Structure 1
């Protein structure tokens, strides 16, 4: 009897041609090395991904914090489309902080302040410049476990690293920086005042947008700047909070919304009793509500919206993104994870439990799934973006 691994390439191609979803194609490749040989390069994977539909987005849980666990190098994925859990092997990300954008994981390591992009299926690693430019790392190199969590957001200008316009932009503490492949160092982007909340790349306008304290919005021509030029943000506008009854913005996000708008989302948390005297700033908390506002990039006008229509928005330690409802994604909802990063540093039990789905229609909140695994202690939970939303992330069970 012929072994599965010895099937002729013609038969394997016939089987692969019957697969309807990209994740099924990925599982096909993971059967054995001979089946995987049908795809020889990451470019082949990306090409298939843009042809086949996807069941993304998914929620990637933190790794286990039990040293005896035999699957420490695995991550659990919760599939919204089916309500099922799957596991993927990601030893490259074990015990390392990471954030997600456009299907890649940005991983930083203690060794020489390294940074790299990881493609979770092919295990392709793209090494980025060392992080010495981010001055938060210089306070005490022995306290890496503390300072590494200052990495807040990452945005990519393209899902394809081969794209000449490919840039990596990150927020680390109060510093904003970017690089392109081949750079020997990160380039600092100056001109922002206050704390950095979020960043997004507008694919139509080809501009980076940055939001800081009190809803100040900056614009940056990311594609026409490099290390040889001064990189300075251009002040675009400031959110008129008083006009909408918002006197402060404790937490907010921005993302591209159509051809000519940005969507700003504010997040309000409620804090319960203080944890104890030592950790009195970061007691137990949960998300209370969200509000949504549109900024027209044509005339600079702001407006409040109460519905996301048939779209859903995903927020957390990932680049903020929206996707059409369907295949387990509910319309007019905000899917959120816990990105209140101070508790990851200061609470004895860590952070991560504030995960849920907010319904815009009535303000109700439901859990993403019913499981003890919804509590994350070691590292943040991450939304993995869909293929149709410029993602190249793929998974292998």
Structure 2
């Protein structure tokens, strides 16, 4: 274990112990101070980010990654608002998950408690720096951040601003820290920091997530990639379907809850497919379609690879299916377990889709873009988990805590 990482982690552990007993008012004051500081330092943040974006562009970084990397005044303001939203949420620390009095008179309570030290490894997206810091603070934990080299300038400025705000609010600056080291060595060391770091959260592409899951000795909460589907059922309101598909695909393409695959019931295909192709192409989307879709000009014939692809771009895979069973079978085969949507006026079809599709989120008559902590009222999220332990779906404050049991008695002994 590199000495510099051990030193940073030890300081984070000590800071987390101070934070664990801090009342909500202290944490909320710090969150508002962090939000104010980010806004006050907006010019410095944007200047650093502009350098990161330009360097990434010159190195040939893909367009969807440039979009994730790029900050503007609106996105910086959104990160500050995210911190304020977290401050407005109930404090999960100390919440009684369940409690009872046992027949022998013992009082049993299961309480939410902080993890302690959380590590986050992420690509691009410097907004994650602020989101992770805010959520971990409110949940009572310190956070060690390992962003990608492409965002180093942005992350360095943001972390400096947050640490200064914490100190001014009376909390240890070491509650938020960047992992030292260059290249992949720092990330690799963080993955091996078992005993120093309590849990690790990766955010990024499939390669990063797979590397962390397979290489880490620290427990990992896996945030998965999103090959998200929209299925238009036979009974769907077609105007609604057009609106949902367009929003799910084009509202923002570089995020994990954007739609990447489209399924259409054959009963509505003759009317809907031409309208879908025209609408998507007007928005600049390249449709990779089966025979029914590929009969239209400009549609690229789909391959097996297309059904498995998370494009993160203005591309979508599309096919016509004979019935609901075929749609569910397709989703089961190709889904990454993130977010899946059905557009239908049939209650029974909706119920079957919800029951039989295995995903962190299933939507009925709504865009997949709503699977987001902020949109669902959780405040800023630390990621969207596609695993089934310890959390699943958008991870807000409760998901960033663990629990302990407190047993209180009056001298009881076990016979």
| TM-score calculated relative to the size of structure 2 | 0.25
Structure number, greater radius of gyration:
2
Structure with more helix by fraction: 2
More strand by share: 1
